[in-house]
Amino acid sequence: MPHTPPTPAARLRAIKRHVWLGRHGFLATCAPGLESLLAAEVARLPEVTAVEARTGAVAFEAPFDTVYPALLRLRVAESLRIFLAQGVAAGSFPMLFDQMQRIRWALWLPASCAVTVRVRSSKSRLRDDEGLERTLRRALQAAGIDADASNAQGTPPVTLHLHLHHDRASVTLDAGGALHRRQGDKWVSPTTIRETTAAALVRLAGVTDPLHEPDLLCDPFCGSGTLIAEALDALSGAAAGRTRPSDTLPAPLAASPTWKPERWAHARRLHGGPGALAESPVVLASDADPSAVRAANHNLAALGYADRVRAEVVPAQSLDLGAIAAEHGARHPLLLTNPPYGRLAGARGAAPGELLRALLGSAPGWRFALLYPRAGDLDGAAGVELLEVRTIVTGGLRNTVLVGRVNDDGR
């Protein structure tokens, strides 16, 4: 029997009742190791309850309208998803298909859209990813959703995540997040890091914490300027993951009939752009690679920070951080950087540990926050005190955030 789509009026009534007036489960994902930071960000969103940290993610419950500030305020989140089904029985393909048919797809998806399905199955009898995707697409077809990309020109793509664990299935709809905001004309360099990783380093460094807020901020391995840009964005209250002030942040959920353009516009007015930036801190950025410096200056200018900082070509080995702090009269200087290691450090004429130890050796009285994989390289470094060592996984690779200080007395 062919599916009869609901009338626009009937669908709007159903959306009001089941989506806009209800509470929903959300899942914000992050790099493993950053769950506590993300949970703290989630807890500051409006009307959030049941916050639960998981490996590489934080689950929570909130009204639908929380999605708008969440997309703008979750700086550490890689993606934001809405649960359409949670933990339903999926011991066989017929059982899974029956559960997928129960989802009210017409409330969440447009009648025609390009759908990407991402499947993950663990400790379940159903391990055929292609078969699982076909089952979900059959359910979409049965609900009258045309998921053929060739018929969805001009419609933002939609991503669904199907996760099976112990014969229980969950389906989430990707609402957007940092992975969808990397548009525009950002230039990159070999040492460019993710915006979300930069956000985590900025948070752990205490850049916006009144107890640790720096009056001098220095990144001598600035690469394409991601860390400096994230620090300035955090200080000015700019939206998470923006690329330049004129950009309209994309949101895959904008294709959904649940999306309220007026609510998105309101949220952007509150959280979308940078506010007034205080005169402090003084910001210094440099790199030994001229191409990286060009990229950093392009990106910082595109974000409106050309008058705040201009990166320069300076080898880190030539820097005396103690003298720089004295020159600027800084009492709370912060070294915030992603030092090179491996071949990138070798290209600068020094072993990674030697390069870093030499830099910190010139920095008495400085606090530091580093993205650097080998904390052991700082063992025995004069005056260096590690306050936090946090292992994270980005892009499938293990890395480490090191937060500490260099004591004035050298002990």
* 80-84, 306-310, 343-347, 353-357, range with the lowest pLDDT: 343-347
pLDDT in tens, 60-109: 999 999 999 999 899 999 999 999 999 999 999 999 999 999 999 999 99
pLDDT computed for residue 1 by the predictor: 45
| Rounded Cα–Cα distance for residues 80 and 95 (Å) | 28
Q: Provide the pLDDT confidence category of residue 392 given band limits of 50, 70 and 90.
A: very high
The DSSP secondary structure of 54-77, one letter per residue, reads: ETTEEEEEEEGGGHHHHHHH-SS-
CA distances from 365 to 207, 284, 379, 402 (A): 16, 17, 18, 16
Highest-confidence segment of 23-27, 195-199, 256-260, 381-385: 23-27
Mean pLDDT over all residues of the chain? 89
136: which residues sit within 8 A by CB, 6+ positions away?
100, 117, 160, 162, 171
Count the Cβ atoms, other than its own, within 10 Å of residue 318: 9
CA distances from 410 to 21, 320, 371, 406 (A): 60, 16, 23, 7
| Rounded Cα–Cα distance for residues 220 and 311 (Å) | 9
Q: What is the pTM of this model?
A: 0.91
pLDDT computed for residue 182 by the predictor: 55
Amino acid type, 341:
Y
User: pLDDT over 90 for what percent of the chain?
Assistant: 69
Nearest alpha-carbon partner for 218 in 109, 327, 345: 327
Q: What is the mean pLDDT of residues 107-117?
A: 92
- In 281-387, which residue ranges form alpha helices assigned H by DSSP? 290-302, 321-328, 343-346, 352-361
Write down how long the chain is: 411
pLDDT computed for residue 245 by the predictor: 47
pLDDT in tens, 231-267: 998 888 888 856 544 445 456 788 899 999 999 889 8
Q: Provide the pLDDT confidence category of residue 213 given band limits of 50, 70 and 90.
A: confident
How is residue 149 written in tokens? 């990309």
360 and 244 Cβ atoms separated by less than 8 Å = no
171 and 161 Cβ atoms separated by less than 8 Å = yes
How is residue 2 written in tokens? 């062919």
Nearest alpha-carbon partner for 187 in 290, 272, 273: 290
Count the Cβ atoms, other than its own, within 10 Å of residue 253: 23
pLDDT of 13 higher than 60? yes
Nearest alpha-carbon partner for 370 in 397, 400, 406, 347: 400
Q: Domains of the chain by range and CATH?
A: 8-74+79-176 (3.30.2130.30), 183-238+274-406 (3.40.50.150)
Residue 81: strand pairing partners: 27, 174
* Cα-based angle 235, 240, 245 (whole degrees, multiple of 5): 85
